[in-house]
Amino acid sequence: MKVEKLKNHFKSLIVLFLILIVVCIFFLWVQSENYHQVSYFEEEPVFQETNMQKEVDAYYQNCLASPYVSEKTESLIQEFLDKYQNDTFAVYFEDINNQYTILKNENTVYYGASLIKLLDATYLIRQAMADEISLEETIEYQAKHQRAYSIGMADYHYGDKVCLYDLIYYAIAYSDNTAHEMLYEYIGVETLREYASSLGVSLTVNQEEHFGNLTVTMANNILKEVYDILLLDNEYSELLLKSMNNTYFNSLNYDGIEILHKYGSLDPNFHDIGIYNDSDYPYFISVMSLIGEQESPNQITTIHQEIRDIYKSNLLDKTSYCLAEKEEYESTLAENK
Per-residue pLDDT at 335: 81
Per-residue pLDDT at 52: 78
Which comes out higher in pLDDT, residue 208 or 334? 208
Average pLDDT over residues 156-160: 98
101-133 residues labelled b (16+ CB within 10 A) or e (exposed): ebbbbbeeebbbbbbbbbbbbbbbbbbbbeeee
* pLDDT (tens digit per residue) in 256-283: 999 999 999 999 999 999 999 999 999 9
- The topology (CATH level 3) of 71-325 is Beta-lactamase (3.40.710)
* 214 contact partners, CB below 8 Å, separation of at least 6: 109, 110, 112, 115, 116, 201, 288
Per-residue pLDDT at 301: 96
* pLDDT (tens digit per residue) in 304-323: 999 999 999 999 999 999 99
* pLDDT (tens digit per residue) in 199-233: 999 999 999 999 999 999 999 999 999 999 999 99
3-state secondary structure of 267: coil
The candidate with the shortest Cα–Cα distance to 260, out of 222, 295, 234, is: 222
Q: Where is average pLDDT lowest: 3-17, 116-130, 154-168?
A: 3-17
Is the predicted pLDDT of residue 33 greater than 60, yes or no? no
Average pLDDT over residues 44-65: 80
**Backbone φ, ψ for residue 162 (5° rounding):** -125, 130
The candidate with the shortest Cα–Cα distance to 281, out of 100, 93, 99, 95, is: 95
Number of separate helices (H) and strands (E) present in the chain: 9, 9
* 152 contact partners, CB below 8 Å, separation of at least 6: 166, 169, 170, 171, 173, 174, 176, 178, 179
Distance CA 272, CA 301 (A): 10
Distance CA 209, CA 148 (A): 16
Q: pTM of the entire structure?
A: 0.84
Distance CA 284, CA 262 (A): 12
Per-residue pLDDT at 3: 43
pLDDT, mean over the chain: 89
The candidate with the shortest Cα–Cα distance to 265, out of 170, 166, 149, 187, is: 149
Distance CA 49, CA 40 (A): 14
The candidate with the shortest Cα–Cα distance to 164, out of 185, 193, 143, 190, is: 185
Average pLDDT over residues 162-173: 98
* pLDDT (tens digit per residue) in 235-259: 999 999 999 999 999 999 999 999 9
Average pLDDT over residues 290-297: 79
Per-residue pLDDT at 329: 86
Average pLDDT over residues 177-186: 98
Query: Could you tell me if 251 and 301 are in contact, meaning their C-beta atoms sit under 8 angstroms apart?
Result: yes
Distance CA 72, CA 89 (A): 24
Show me where the domains of the chain are located.
2-65, 71-325
Q: Which long-range contacts (CB under 8 A, 24 or more apart) does 200-206 make?
A: 201/119, 203/116, 203/119, 205/116
Q: Per-residue confidence at 333, pLDDT binned at 50, 70, 90?
A: confident
How wide is the angle at C-alpha 267 spanned by C-alphas 266 and 270, nearest 5°? 70
Looking only at the bridges linking them, the beta strands covering 110-111 and 213-214 are antiparallel
- Indicate if the alpha-carbon torsion angle 67, 284, 224, 135 is positive or negative: negative
* 135 contact partners, CB below 8 Å, separation of at least 6: 124, 125, 128, 163, 164, 165, 168, 236, 239
